[in-house]
Amino acid sequence: MMPLGFTRLDFYYLLPELIVTAGAVALLGGDVLLARGRHRLLTWVGLAFLGAAAVALAFISGREGTVAQGMYSVDGFAVFFKLLFLVAAALTILMSHRYLDVEGARPGEYYFLVLCATLGMMVMAAGVDLVTLFIGLETMAVSFYILVGYIKPSRRSNEASIKYFLLGTFSLGLLLYGMSLLYGLTGSTELRTIATTLAGGRGGPLLALAVMLLVAGMGFKIAAVPFHAWAPDVYEGAPTPITAFISVGSKAASFAMLLRIFFEGLPAFRMDGLGTIFGQPLGWTYFFYVLSIVSMTLGNLAALTQNNLKRMLAYSSIAHAGYLLIGIVAATPRGVMAALVYLMVYTFMQLGAFAIVVLMRRQDVIGDELKDLSGLSVRQPAAAVAMLIFMLSLGGIPPTAGFMGKFSLFAAAIESGYVGLAIIGVLNSAISLYYYVRVVVYMWVRREEAAAPPVVMSRALALVLIVAVAGTLVLGVYPRALFDLAQASASTLGRADQALGLLR
Amino acid sequence: MHFTPITPYHYLLLSAALFSVGVIGVMVRRNIIILFMSIELMFNAVNINLVAFAALYRHEVGQAFAVFVIAVAAAEAAVGLGIILAFYRNKETLNIDEMNLMKG
Amino acid sequence: MTYHLLSIVLFTPLAGALVLLFVPRAQVDAIRWIANAFALAGFVVSLPLWNFDVQAAQWHFVEKAEWIPSIGATYYLGVDGFSILLILLTTLMGFISVLSSWEAITDRVKEYYIVLLVLQTGMLGAFMSLDFLLFFLFWEVMLVPMYFVIGIWGGGRRLYSAIKFFLYTLVGSVVMLLGILALYFYNHTVTGVYTFDVTQFQQLAVPFNIQRWVFLAFFLGFAIKVPMFPFHTWLPDAHTDAPTAGSVILAAVLLKMGTYGFIRFSLPILPEASHYFVPLIVWLSVIGIVYGALVALAQTDWKRLVAYSSVSHMGMVMLGMFALTPVALTGSIVQQLNHGISTGALFLIVGIVYERRHTREISDYGGLSKVMPVFAVVFLIMTLSSIGLPALNGFIGELLILAGVFVVNKLWAAVAASGIVLGAAYMLWLYQRTMFGTVDKPENAKLTDLNLREFATFAPLIALAVWIGIYPAPLLRRLDTSVARVITRVNSVYGPALAKSNCTTPTAPAITRPPAPTPGAPSLDLTGFAACADEAAPKKPGGK
């Protein structure tokens, strides 16, 4: 065994994480040291650190290796996700700038927690060891428990926080039990060692149980049906920027962790090895196959009847977890690439949609009901057009990025022979357009209520919308760079196992 | 008298029993504090597993993992109890069924 | 290619939409002028397409650039005679619909023209794309603007109609996407290359088993758009509630997307499956022809009547297409253009009276020929064009279709002919009820006749109707190579003959595959007519 401790190279590879950590500490210090009324400065401090982390990330992109004795990976896959998290965090902070004023909440701890959550996500994407993944997950989750309940006078925020906390820790219990069994079966917590140890042999019931617990635990985190019960309430009750960050960052980080665990740790049990079901060999893709179908279908059906915009987006995000699982079920490099493409695309469109909800939050108006959007095309035409683009993108209509994401997912499904899944997927996206278009109808066809206070666009929020619209359109019309990046990143996942010939 | 030595299977059984108690507790109890304690039971089941396996394999990885779990559980407890306290101040109850502001 | 003609044609309307974005919404007249200018410019820049090398069988004006190399998608534009004619139809009808909206649209004028121009780019892109993914992208781009046109500027139950249109078309197209993906992966297993190149797919020999499923996937997408008989129910609603310009675009261009898809993709890529499904499609078409005509007879709503006549006419187009003979296919394409011209004009005509009277009930009108003589003449010409009177465009298309179908199956031809008779009945009855008789409603007495702008929207359509009716040769000549390419692929009987010369009447031996052309049918074989009618016509200098 190598001597404990880090080399200088390790620090270099960990620079993005270290910068985010430094940023978190700086924000906490700033909160204490800055005079009252100057706290708005903290927004820009947070952004500066995120930007610096992105620059550091650029330096390590293309490198490959592990640090901390193989517990932490530096590869394209991790870099891709870290980039995604930094973008999402930056947009979240920009969104919160005015929102916190309206809610009357202190920005210092809030931004500190946002950066902590970001750090946790980065660890989740890069960890190749069960312990590391667990630490990353908890760093993120605990930060979110607090952030969801951050608006203390709000009972909705309060309830949401309790639900998120209880279901979050419960799912963590399931996940940890699965991890402990996996460790017991292999004697290692390193994913690659687990993969090689399990490579030749059969699974047996204990492994099947471990896999089921892992699937259930991750199912909670990505909000897949039937583990989705927390999502609508948490999405509705949490401060809107945090809802956005959970729906994008937490989901993406959980998918990264899921991909790590199953593609790096358990590649041999994709199709069989976990016993039989209905006379067919059982592998973990089977579980995700079922989760994918029920998540897409139930998520979309439940979204059809929602009148609260945040709740509707919550159910839509459950459906999107279903779409994303198609890439996991395909279990090919193309499937992974499609999931990565979709997650990046989803970041822009989902954050953009929530930015519109933030925009509608004014003094005395909560603004998250669908009817609050009435006549937005007259009151704030630019915002209405932006929302139109996000809705179309979520529905998967070209030339928006959502189409490119869905397209690559369905392509992956067909390539792997899951034509039925692809058909269910496309029909679901047709259903989903019904409620996305409903939003558009409210904005363009319904007339505004007479007494509604004006909708004022702050500069920070305008910036968020510009970035989100640009991302959604550019990635939809000319997605070449994204596809190339996702392909390169996906190919670094589970490279050890490709050497073993386990992954096609 | 004949004593069976304690094997890893016994630890596994204990941990499985503890875990089941925890899961069932979460399912059936309605008091938030009891729910939280049930979840803590699940964590402890995990810790038993980890430590037992560490002993079986005669290395320290499992023990380290268990220490991390304990530490994180403590942090979670701190945050969780804070959240529960805030809820209690708002609602004067700890019954989870009283959470009814959001429906749909 | 240094000459980006197709891109220029494609993006002129979009450029117009972008310019409009920056015009203040209060300046309504400026917005109208700019929109009309760009629509006209779009038509003018597309005119050079007419001069292409009609003899050359390859794709014209090809443009190719990298788009998403990692999945093999390219920005690949190219046209043949068939798509050039549809593009010219699109740019013309696009301009006419923009022009016709001058007074009709007073609410949210800026958004209206932006949406209309974006729609125009979507339609043009679909006709130009030789990359399947690019085609699909443009195909879907058309959906949303059309939804807005119906949903915001429509009348009646506009939201219901708009969402019905949207969901019907969307379901069809997403299933079509799966068909595209199946071809994409099949092509990869055969050639080892990931590509969406349609010209590559057209040379692929896809196993029948795959062909069948892909055909059904395409069928759903295209048949809903055409629309064919059981999928047509969105059409009357959409047409009835859409504003005039929306109806015109819908009838003249959007419906052609479906037939274009069949001819460009289904037939040449999936020849065996096309043969296999001939009975299905022919009978659906025949039912559509008769059913559409009968329902049209029963309508009391002027616009709905025209909408159902569309169902009937498009059934005719589909029937001609799936006779799988060169004559009938040529007829089918010509009839597509005719339908665009005459039905587009008929919707404009409804729009004219609707703007003046705000009712579409046929019984509210009567005796209009006395108060609006010019209008009555225009309507008469378009009615006659629609029912296929000789010397007008409809006759040419229907004659070619019937002639081509007749050699294959006399029963089909007979039913189709009955559809034409019914068509004459409902159109002439409509004309009689609205134009003749006494002016018994006082509101109708003071209706004004067409003004200059309104007449300008009809003038090019009348000219085209007469021109195609009297001298269709230049048009038919431009379709030779397109038809030959499709038919040699799908019906090998005609292959050698067409390959040798476009002007040889094939001596059809009995072929084994269904549908067997009746031997000895050439008593009315006009195959040579389609290809050689213009043999003596002076050849224009072709090409660029």
Chain C residues with CB-CB distance to A430 below 8 A: 167, 170-171, 174
Per the structure, the count of domains in chain C is 1
**Within-domain flag for A19:** no
A429 contacts C177? CB cut-off 8 A: no
**Within-domain flag for C219:** no
DSSP labels, C462-500: HHHHHHHHH--HHHHHHHHHHHHHHHHHH-GGGHHHHHH
C462: which 2 tokens? 């009348």
Asked whether residue C541 carries a pLDDT value surpassing 60, the answer given is no
Chains in contact with chain A (at least 3 beta-carbon pairs closer than 8 A): B, C
Cβ atoms within 10 Å of C45's Cβ, excluding its own: 16
Taking only the tens place, the pLDDT of each residue in B26-51 is 999 889 999 999 999 999 999 999 99
Q: Mean pLDDT in chain C?
A: 86
The Cα–Cα gap between A103 and A150 comes to 10
Q: pLDDT at position A56, please?
A: 93
Residue whose C-alpha is closest to residue C258's, from C219, C289, C202: C219
Distance from CA of B5 to the nearest CA of A (A): 19
Residue type, C79: V
Confidence of residue C514 (pLDDT cuts 50, 70, 90): very low
A225: which 2 tokens? 């049906």
Q: pLDDT at position A495, please?
A: 61
The Cα–Cα gap between B53 and B60 comes to 10
Name, of A4-13, A445-454, C385-394, the range with top average pLDDT: C385-394
A480 contacts C70? CB cut-off 8 A: yes
User: Residue C3 gets which letter from DSSP?
Assistant: -
Size of chain C in residues: 544
**Within-domain flag for C298:** yes
The Cα–Cα gap between A108 and C464 comes to 71
Question: Using an 8 Å Cβ cutoff, are A386 and A374 in contact?
Answer: no
Confidence of residue A498 (pLDDT cuts 50, 70, 90): very low
User: Residue C536 gets which letter from DSSP?
Assistant: T
Tell me the CB-side half-sphere exposure of residue C507, using CA atoms within 13 A: 0
DSSP labels, C341-361: HHHHHHHHHHHHHHHHHS--B
Q: Residue A92 class from Cβ within 10 Å (0-12 exposed, 13-18 middle, 19+ buried)? A: buried
Q: pLDDT at position A6, please?
A: 63
Average pLDDT over residues C68-81: 91
Residue whose C-alpha is closest to residue A93's, from A61, A126, A35, A45: A45
Chain A residues with a Cβ under 8 Å from any Cβ in chain B: 130-131, 134-135, 138, 142, 145-146, 149, 152, 155-156, 158-163, 165-166, 169-170, 173-174, 176-177, 179-181, 183-184, 187-189, 232-233, 236-237, 302, 305-306, 308, 311
In this complex, does chain A touch chain B, defined as having at least 3 beta-carbon pairs under 8 Å apart? yes
**Within-domain flag for A425:** yes
Residue A464 contacts by C-beta under 8 Å, 6 or more apart in sequence? A91, A94, A95, A351, A352, A355
Asked whether residue C256 carries a pLDDT value surpassing 90, the answer given is yes
Taking only the tens place, the pLDDT of each residue in A117-173 is 999 999 999 999 999 999 999 999 999 999 999 988 888 888 899 999 999 999 999
The answer to which of A285-294, A490-499, C233-242 has the lowest mean pLDDT is A490-499
**Within-domain flag for A175:** no
Taking only the tens place, the pLDDT of each residue in A195-228 is 888 887 667 888 999 999 999 999 999 999 899 9
Q: pLDDT at position A5, please?
A: 58
**Within-domain flag for C238:** no
Q: Cα–Cα distances in Å, from B82 out to A142, A211, B25, C235?
A: 12, 33, 21, 60
Give the domain range for residue C470.
Answer: 277-539
Q: Cα–Cα distances in Å, from A447 out to A443, A452, C146, C195, C270?
A: 8, 11, 21, 47, 49
**Within-domain flag for A169:** no
Asked whether residue A502 carries a pLDDT value surpassing 50, the answer given is no
Cβ atoms within 10 Å of C237's Cβ, excluding its own: 22
**Within-domain flag for A451:** yes
The Cα–Cα gap between C306 and C430 comes to 10
Asked whether residue B20 carries a pLDDT value surpassing 90, the answer given is yes
Residue whose C-alpha is closest to residue A339's, from A410, A398, A286, A395: A410
Residue B76 contacts by C-beta under 8 Å, 6 or more apart in sequence? A138, A142, A145, A169
Residue B58 contacts by C-beta under 8 Å, 6 or more apart in sequence? none
The Cα–Cα gap between A256 and A347 comes to 14
The Cα–Cα gap between C481 and C502 comes to 8
A135 contacts B35? CB cut-off 8 A: no
A&C contacts, CB < 8 Å: 76
Question: Using an 8 Å Cβ cutoff, are C245 and C252 in contact?
Answer: no
Question: Using an 8 Å Cβ cutoff, are A259 and A339 in contact?
Answer: yes
Chains in contact with chain B (at least 3 beta-carbon pairs closer than 8 A): A
At how many degrees (to 10) do helices A401-415 and A419-444 cross? 170
Asked whether residue C507 carries a pLDDT value surpassing 70, the answer given is no
β-partners of residue C131 are C197
Per the structure, the count of domains in chain A is 1
Helices (H), A248-308: 251-259, 284-304
Handedness of CA A174, A179, A184, A185 (dihedral sign): positive
Residue whose C-alpha is closest to residue A190's, from A359, A28, A72: A72
Distance from CA of C169 to the nearest CA of A (A): 10
The Cα–Cα gap between A174 and A247 comes to 21
The Cα–Cα gap between A348 and A353 comes to 9
In this complex, does chain C touch chain A, defined as having at least 3 beta-carbon pairs under 8 Å apart? yes
The Cα–Cα gap between C129 and C84 comes to 12
Instruction: Give the one of A397, A423, A434 whose C-beta lies nearest to C140's C-beta.
Output: A397
Question: Using an 8 Å Cβ cutoff, are C212 and C304 in contact?
Answer: no
Q: pLDDT at position C499, please?
A: 46
3-class secondary structure, A369: strand
Q: pLDDT at position A276, please?
A: 77
Question: Using an 8 Å Cβ cutoff, are C370 and C285 in contact?
Answer: no
Asked whether residue C530 carries a pLDDT value surpassing 50, the answer given is no
| Beta-strand pair A65-67/C73-79 | unpaired
Q: Which of B21, B34, B65, B88 to mutate to test the interface with A (most CBs of A within 10 A)?
A: B65
The Cα–Cα gap between C36 and C97 comes to 10
Asked whether residue C385 carries a pLDDT value surpassing 70, the answer given is yes
**Within-domain flag for A344:** yes
**Within-domain flag for C366:** yes
Taking only the tens place, the pLDDT of each residue in A242-279 is 999 999 999 999 999 999 999 988 888 888 777 777 77
**Within-domain flag for A223:** no
Instruction: Give the one of C69, C175, C177 whose C-beta lies nearest to A480's C-beta.
Output: C69
Question: Using an 8 Å Cβ cutoff, are A252 and A85 in contact?
Answer: yes
DSSP labels, A275-289: -EETTEE--HHHHHH
Which residues 398-417 of A have a C-beta within 8 angstroms of C? 398-399, 403, 407-408, 410-411, 414-415
Max Cα-Cα span within chain A: 72
Q: pLDDT at position C540, please?
A: 41
The Cα–Cα gap between A215 and A210 comes to 9
Taking only the tens place, the pLDDT of each residue in A454-484 is 888 889 999 999 999 999 999 999 999 999 9
Give the domain range for residue A335.
Answer: 283-491
Average pLDDT over residues A318-339: 94
Confidence of residue B103 (pLDDT cuts 50, 70, 90): low
The Cα–Cα gap between C287 and A194 comes to 64
Taking only the tens place, the pLDDT of each residue in C412-443 is 999 888 888 999 999 999 999 998 888 888 88
The Cα–Cα gap between A362 and A102 comes to 7
Q: Which of A112, A134, A158, A318 to mutate to test the interface with B (most CBs of B within 10 A)?
A: A158
A487 contacts C178? CB cut-off 8 A: no
Name, of A342-346, B2-6, C186-190, the range with top average pLDDT: A342-346
Q: pLDDT at position C494, please?
A: 63
- Higher-confidence residue: C499 or A373? A373
Taking only the tens place, the pLDDT of each residue in C471-493 is 999 999 999 888 988 888 887 76
Residue bearing tokens 């006709």: C127
The Cα–Cα gap between A477 and A396 comes to 13
Confidence of residue C243 (pLDDT cuts 50, 70, 90): very high
What is the rounded (10 degree) CA torsion for B17, B23, B29, B34?
80
Confidence of residue A494 (pLDDT cuts 50, 70, 90): low
**Within-domain flag for A389:** yes
Residue A377 contacts by C-beta under 8 Å, 6 or more apart in sequence? A384, A385, A443, A444, C111
Asked whether residue C121 carries a pLDDT value surpassing 80, the answer given is yes
A88: which 2 tokens? 């999402």
Residue bearing tokens 């403590």: B74
Question: Using an 8 Å Cβ cutoff, are A121 and A253 in contact?
Answer: yes
The Cα–Cα gap between A352 and C519 comes to 65
- Provide the ipTM: 0.94
Confidence of residue C512 (pLDDT cuts 50, 70, 90): very low
The Cα–Cα gap between C527 and C405 comes to 11
Chain B residues with CB-CB distance to A136 below 8 A: none
Distance from CA of A387 to the nearest CA of C (A): 14
**Within-domain flag for C225:** no
Asked whether residue A8 carries a pLDDT value surpassing 80, the answer given is no
User: Residue A331 gets which letter from DSSP?
Assistant: T
Q: Tell me which H or E stretch contains C62.
A: strand C60-68
Distance from CA of A488 to the nearest CA of C (A): 10
Residue A85 contacts by C-beta under 8 Å, 6 or more apart in sequence? A118, A121, A122, A125, A249, A252, A253
Helices (H), C301-392: 302-322, 326-357, 368-371, 373-387
Q: pLDDT at position A456, please?
A: 84
Q: What percent of chain C has pLDDT over 90?
A: 62
Residue A497 contacts by C-beta under 8 Å, 6 or more apart in sequence? A192, A195, A263, A264, A267, A503
Chain B residues with CB-CB distance to A135 below 8 A: 68, 72
Q: pLDDT at position C87, please?
A: 95
Asked whether residue C122 carries a pLDDT value surpassing 90, the answer given is yes
Chain A residues with CB-CB distance to C70 below 8 A: 480, 483-484, 487
